[in-house]
Amino acid sequence: MRIDILTILPQLLDGPFRDSIMKRAQEKGLVEIHLHNIRDYSTHKQKSVDDYQYGGGAGMVMTIQPIADCIEKLKAERPYDEIIYMTPDGELLKQTVCNELSLKQNLIILCGHYKGVDQRVRDLFITREISIGSYVLSGGELGAAVLVDSIVRLLPGVLSDETSALTDSFQDNLLAPPVYTRPEEYKGLKVPDILLSGHTEKIDEWRAEQSLKRTQERRPDLLRD
Ligand code: ADE
């Protein structure tokens, strides 16, 4: 998989992909992540990437030219399955969206800033708009980091235990059950006997019950979906 991220703040995205699972996925050649500084594509003499909005009002709008030039250059090099715009008014990111995107070959992710991008960028290029939650971030970069992480960990070969992504919360619309490790007892709190029993069927049953209980208590909306 190849992911191209368009941003005016590439340094914000240096960190999230440099360690742990994201780092290993890139080292293993399972994903290529390319950061593009939108400012590098500006033909404006001061390399500006934003302007006042028509109709007045506070806040700048990201201009079409540098974004369009960058997207067009990338599209001339290879076909893209989706060109995603990170925006609070997009479709809410859910595990089903991550699963679907993890099956794609090439993705572009555009990060907005200020009041967002000129609507015509969205009309002309964007195939999918994604929000990571019902709150407003100062830019799309943190959202893009969340999206990329949630997709890349699903790529075959990225997680060492191949089954572990399947037992994540949300994979079956249920939250994950509680987990325990050593010691068997801490300050009077004991690991449930069933987990020490060695009885795998009973343990699976207990985990399924706990998942359902947690979901009913914390996210009943998932059971209605
Ligand atoms: N940009 C600003 N807020 C955002 C959000 N909630 N999700 C995705 N991108 C954003």
pLDDT digits (tens, 9 = 90+) for 21-33: 999 999 999 999 9
Average pLDDT, rounded, for the chain: 96
Query: Residue 25 C-alpha to ligand 1 middle, in angstroms?
Result: 25
Instruction: Find, among 40, 35, 39, the residue nearest to 3 by Cα.
Output: 35
Average pLDDT for 160-168: 76
Query: Residue 198 C-alpha to ligand 1 middle, in angstroms?
Result: 45
The pLDDT value recorded for residue 162 is: 60
Indicate which atom in ligand 1 lies nearest the CA of residue 134: 6
Q: Which residues line ligand 1 (CB under 6 A)?
A: 86-88, 112, 131-133, 135-137, 140, 143
The pair of structure tokens assigned to 130 is: 């994604």
The pair of structure tokens assigned to 65 is: 């030219």
Q: What is the DSSP letter of 13?
A: G
Residue with the smallest CA separation from ligand 1 atom 4 is: 88
Residue with the smallest CA separation from ligand 1 atom 10 is: 87
Percent of the chain scored above 70 by pLDDT? Answer: 99
The pLDDT value recorded for residue 96 is: 96
Question: Which DSSP string corresponds to 110-123?
Answer: EEPBTT-B-HHHHH
Q: Hey, is 125 helix, strand or coil?
A: helix
pTM equals 0.95
Mutate which of 97, 137, 142 for ligand 1? The one with the most ligand atoms within 8 Å of its CB, which is 137
Mutate which of 84, 85, 87, 110 for ligand 1? The one with the most ligand atoms within 8 Å of its CB, which is 87
- In the numeric block, the tokens 């208590």 are attached to 217
Angle at 132 between CA 126 and CA 137, to 5 degrees: 95
User: 91 - beta bridge partners?
Assistant: 130
Residue with the smallest CA separation from ligand 1 atom 7 is: 131
The pair of structure tokens assigned to 45 is: 């003499």
Average pLDDT for 169-178: 91
List of domains in the chain:
2-152 (3.40.1280.10), 169-224 (1.10.1270.20)
Mutate which of 5, 85, 86, 141 for ligand 1? The one with the most ligand atoms within 8 Å of its CB, which is 86
Q: What is the DSSP letter of 38?
A: G
Residue 171: pLDDT band by 50, 70, 90 thresholds? confident
pLDDT higher than 90, residue 168: no
Is the C-alpha dihedral spanning 155, 6, 122, 93 positive or negative? positive
Q: Hey, is 96 helix, strand or coil?
A: helix
The pLDDT value recorded for residue 163 is: 64
pLDDT tens, residue by residue, 77-104:
999 999 999 999 999 999 999 999 999 9
